[in-house]
Amino acid sequence: MYKTTGFKRAFVLILAAATVVAAGSVWYWRQVTEKLSQDARATIIGAGRELAENFDRLLGTEFQVLASVAVSLDQPGALDNRKKLVNYLDRQNRRNSFTLTGYQDSQGKAIFSDGHVLQDFISVQDVEDIYTRGHYISGRRKGPFSGRDILVFAVPMPSKEEGQRNGIVFATQTIEFYAQALAANALHGEGLSFILDRAGDIIIAYPRAVYDNLFKAGEDSHFDHGRSVLRMQQDMSRGESGWTGYTLRGEHRFASYTPLEYNEWYALSVLPTKSVADRAQTLVLLSLILCLSIIVVLGILLVFILRMQSQSSRALYRMGFVDPLTEADNLNAFRFKFPRAANAFKEKKQPYALVMVNINRFKALNDIYGFEQGDQVLKQVASALQGSLKEGELFCRSSADIFLLLLACPDRSELGRRVEELAGQAGRYCQSDGKCMPLSITCGAYLVDEEVPFYIMMDRANLAWASAKEHAGQICAFYDEQYRRQIVTEKQIESTMEQSLRDGEFKIYLQPKCDFKTARTHSAEALVRWMHPKRGMIPPDSFIPVFEKNGFILKLDMFMLEETLRLLKTWKERGTPVVPVGVNFSRLHLQDPRFIEVLAQTADKYGVDHHLLEVELTESVVFGNVDLMKQVVDGLHEKGFSVAMDDFGAGYSSLNVLKNLDFDCVKLDKEFLACGEENPRMRQIISGLVHMLKSLGSGVVAEGVETPEQAEFLSRIGCDLAQGYLFSRPLPPQDFAQRLIDERDKK
């Protein structure tokens, strides 16, 4: 009787457990179905956007190439000799992989890189559009000589006067060339990629389309004329992006369409959802197996449930060694397992590395999406990282958004690739409730090469992570002893900078800006030198970047300003000739709305005329925020200060931006002259830049002039002033003042 009663009770418990498991499985399947649908939608939308971005970038590159050709042809005599013009166009055509490149003059005569000549290759109406919009791209058309389908790109030649038309530069490229660019988004034939206009006319397709219009192709098209196509047409007519789903011959697909920047074209990406269905079937099978397994396990557990007495020990283990959020090992468990894992690597003579992984701007992510979503991100990142481990490797969540990995390291480059792949996987997995998180990962790796305590290994991995953090776009950095020494040096600089400023260790030096012909001093630039009592003179490159990071540059800039104004006042009082002096200012000043007013008040305090002070802004400062910079430059001009752009060409200058910023002077970076003497193309570039800047009304100062040949060349092309060792090194204030006096007395 007891056995029968016990069996009945066990049967009832098993049946109840099975019912609960079945209900849970149904709920689980619904959640999985919804999540898969969300994943598919996010994938197709992302594919459409990626296709549009890639194609926009490709077209933009073509226009940039043509623009550079147009600038090269804008040189005197470049268009006078037809044979030389054809040879030049042919070289450019082969270099840039166009099918043909050409020049069409203002009378419509088109000269091609293969020597052909056509009249009005680009029509009069299209030429008008080119001059109006600054660029042109045709629709699908036949090549003039090959008969192949092509696209035509064109840009106008530069003009020195408004309304002047100097012709246009054009290039042709086959449709097949651009079709190959769509192949990656088409998943190598499993999907479809189109470039089409708003009316549905297909410009480019991959794979090749058998029809010309997507909306009018009837039964042969990949779309029916139902609600999905109507919705697409309406969105395209309004210039909007969107996505839709449809069924073709029993197969469900998704389509995403995104507007391009050119010609009101659209990028259309079509992907099948077969993979999603396969994934769903796999999950169904796994769910059924899981349910049956749970029922069997429940039956076994019911027999031994009364004998289980180890719950308290497991709870203690979790408290000490398991991360409560991610269910992965915590730092205690990692440190406990580390010696055994490290010894295993050593026995195999297998190099290994400690890797620190951090989620960038995780606090901002919490602020935007909430802590609940942030916790979900941490769980999924932990899952992605832990799932990547190989035999003998370790993983833990160290704290907050920091994770540690102990990985095998066959060699440095292979480990770098693997860590970057892990970072990419963690970022892709980070989705929650259908929302794609803007997530990026930064990693630091320490290759364990000596017996040091674990906490020192962590410090070195952390230093490597900090190094990667400092370089935008770098995912992983390796520990470098030189970088550690750099950090120590920076800390030493930071620990003494305030006292050094109070003790007067920062000195002002002046480097003259001289006239090329007379070598007389026209103006000067104030330069800072740190005369350390123990380390001697510290180069500016060693401390200026540190001061930029910690904000001390604000105090140093104002110190240099006051020292400069004090010198100008002293020269005036002593009868020393007075010349304008330029002072460099950090970008941090430009965030202060009081900057211009403080500058004016300080100059007035010393009784210095505003035109004697030149505000020098580096190229990186200028192009950081053009709108803010325009306000600053205009405000400085209103107060009577002159403004110069320093180090022009040191970075990625946008010549187009210069038209909006009225600089009194532009200083060419010394790197322009580094190879200019032996490089005819560089000479041509420098000459063109000087001509362009002069035409904009800006004075031009050349930095780094060190040889008479450089000076002669710069003077000949119209450069205004020189600054470099050929004329003078940076001088202490007393030597500079004496130079001014000597020049005055020689008159």
pLDDT digits (tens, 9 = 90+) for 138-188: 988 999 888 899 999 999 998 877 778 889 999 999 988 888 878 766 665
Please check whether residues 671 and 588 belong to one and the same domain: yes
Tell me if 306 is assigned to some domain. no
pLDDT at residue 606 is higher than 80: yes
User: What single DSSP character describes residue 126?
Assistant: H
pLDDT at residue 99 is higher than 60: yes
Please check whether residues 497 and 416 belong to one and the same domain: no
Tell me if 338 is assigned to some domain. yes
Q: Which residues pair with 292 in a beta bridge?
A: none
Burial, 623: exposed, middle or buried (Cβ in 10 Å; 0-12, 13-18, 19+)?
middle
Q: Smallest Cα–Cα separation from 257: which of 226, 223, 225?
A: 223
Tell me if 10 is assigned to some domain. no
What confidence tier does 623 reach under pLDDT thresholds 50, 70, 90?
low
Owning domain of residue 390: 313-479
Whether the Cβ atoms of residue 662 and residue 637 lie closer than 8 Å to each other: yes
Task: Pick the last residue of a domain from 131, 147, 178.
Answer: 178
The pLDDT value given to residue 2: 36
Rounded to two decimals, the pTM is 0.47
Whether the Cβ atoms of residue 457 and residue 354 lie closer than 8 Å to each other: yes
The pLDDT value given to residue 647: 79
Q: Are strands 665-668 and 699-703 parallel, antiparallel or unpaired?
A: parallel
Tell me if 431 is assigned to some domain. yes
Please check whether residues 573 and 711 belong to one and the same domain: yes
The pLDDT value given to residue 111: 94
The total domain count for the chain is 3
Tens digit of each residue's pLDDT (9 = 90 or more) over 574-590: 999 999 999 999 888 88
Question: What's the rounded Cα separation, in Å, for the pair 89 and 92?
Answer: 5
What confidence tier does 435 reach under pLDDT thresholds 50, 70, 90?
low
Task: Pick the last residue of a domain from 149, 178, 207.
Answer: 178
Please check whether residues 376 and 512 belong to one and the same domain: no
Question: What's the rounded Cα separation, in Å, for the pair 84 and 115?
Answer: 11
Tell me if 346 is assigned to some domain. yes
We report the CATH number of the domain holding residue 90 as 3.30.450.20
Q: What share of the chain is helix, strand, coil (3-state, %, to 5)?
A: 50, 20, 25
Please check whether residues 529 and 612 belong to one and the same domain: yes
Q: Determine how many CB atoms are found less than 10 A away from the CB of residue 309.
A: 7
What confidence tier does 683 reach under pLDDT thresholds 50, 70, 90?
confident
Question: What's the rounded Cα separation, in Å, for the pair 5 and 483?
Answer: 74
Residue for token digits 């396969």?
Answer: 278
Tens digit of each residue's pLDDT (9 = 90 or more) over 204-250: 988 887 778 887 765 445 555 456 778 888 888 898 988 887 666 66
What confidence tier does 276 reach under pLDDT thresholds 50, 70, 90?
very low
Q: Is the dihedral of CA 606, 611, 613, 617 positive or negative?
A: positive
Query: Can you tell me the mean pLDDT for 13-42?
Result: 67
Whether the Cβ atoms of residue 653 and residue 614 lie closer than 8 Å to each other: no
We report the CATH number of the domain holding residue 467 as 3.30.70.270
Least confident range from 19-23, 321-325, 636-640: namely 19-23
Please check whether residues 567 and 625 belong to one and the same domain: yes
As a whole number of Å, the CA-based R_g of the chain is 35
Question: What's the rounded Cα separation, in Å, for the pair 477 and 466?
Answer: 8
The pLDDT value given to residue 392: 92
Mean pLDDT score across all residues of the chain: 83
Tell me if 289 is assigned to some domain. no
Please check whether residues 662 and 692 belong to one and the same domain: yes
Query: Can you tell me the mean pLDDT for 482-486?
Result: 71
Q: Determine how many CB atoms are found less than 10 A away from the CB of residue 386.
A: 19
Tell me if 464 is assigned to some domain. yes
The pLDDT value given to residue 317: 80
Question: What's the rounded Cα separation, in Å, for the pair 165 and 469?
Answer: 49
Percent of the chain at pLDDT > 70 equals 82
Please check whether residues 567 and 507 belong to one and the same domain: yes
Tens digit of each residue's pLDDT (9 = 90 or more) over 523-551: 999 999 999 888 888 888 888 888 888 88
Please check whether residues 473 and 522 belong to one and the same domain: no
Tell me if 65 is assigned to some domain. no
How would DSSP label each residue in 214-276?
A: SSS-GGGSSS-SSHHHHHHHHHHHTT--EEEEEEETTEEEEEEEEE-SSTT-EEEEEEE-HHH
Tens digit of each residue's pLDDT (9 = 90 or more) over 383-427: 889 988 999 999 999 988 999 999 998 888 888 888 888 888 877
Tens digit of each residue's pLDDT (9 = 90 or more) over 315-342: 778 888 999 999 999 999 999 999 999 9
